[in-house]
Amino acid sequence: MARRMGQKEVRALTTLFTARSWPARIGALLVLAIAAWAWWNEGRAAPGVLAAGQSLQGTVVGIADGDTITLLDADRREYRLRLAFIDAPEKAQPYGNAAKQHLSDRVYRRTVDAEVVDVDRYRRGVALVRLDGEDINHAQVKAGLAWHYTRYADKQPRGDFDAYTAAQQAARDGRLGLWQQPGAEPPWDFRRNKRTAE
């Protein structure tokens, strides 16, 4: 819906064409520029602010990699979410693109529920994501396309921890996904080694 011009904007427009002094005209131009900026940004998706314990529902509009999505809620706010309790291969690693594609096939353009368990240093929500009740984070591990990230296991309910551990072991035993390669390098080691090499 188009935004109507307010009294302030009408006065600024009138001043722009009728004022004799340049400072008044410049002030009117500033008012109109701010109004134009506000109009331009109206209705566009604004990044959402996240907090632990927050529940979200929205459509997945972006997949960054095998464990990071962008969710757009009903109010057109965007949230960047990292899937909690897992770590998928980096894009430069073997199976990095496969992990991203698997996640995309499951949730892209679908409506999901997300429970934020933490907010990371990049201000992404660390979230448990569900599609029709299915734990998508667990599904990535079960498919052999992510590790169970036990480093932050203190925030994971014990039953879920055991289920993720069992899913990883089953994927490893079945040589699914990344477990087809001998000596698969965890992404946290890959990132550390890359930083050391730079």
Within-domain flag for 2: no
Q: What is the pTM of this model?
A: 0.74
Number of other residues whose CB lies within 10 A of the CB of residue 92: 10
Burial category of 144 from C-beta neighbours within 10 Å (exposed 0-12, middle 13-18, buried 19 and up): buried
90 catalytic? Reply is yes
Query: How, if at all, do strands 46-47 and 77-83 pair?
Result: parallel
Which residue among 124, 175, 191, 195 is the active-site one?
124
Whether residue 181 sits in one domain with residue 153: yes
Per-residue pLDDT tens over the stretch 45-97 = 445 678 999 999 999 999 999 999 999 999 999 999 999 999 999 999 999 99
Whether residue 54 sits in one domain with residue 36: no
pLDDT grade for 197, boundaries at 50, 70 and 90: confident
Which residue among 80, 82, 106, 130 is the active-site one?
82
Which residue among 9, 90, 106, 130 is the active-site one?
90
82 catalytic? Reply is yes
110 catalytic? Reply is no
Which three-class secondary structure string do you get for 138-180? HHHHHCCCCEECHHHHHHCCHHHHHHHHHHHHHHHHCCCHHHH
Whether residue 101 sits in one domain with residue 32: no
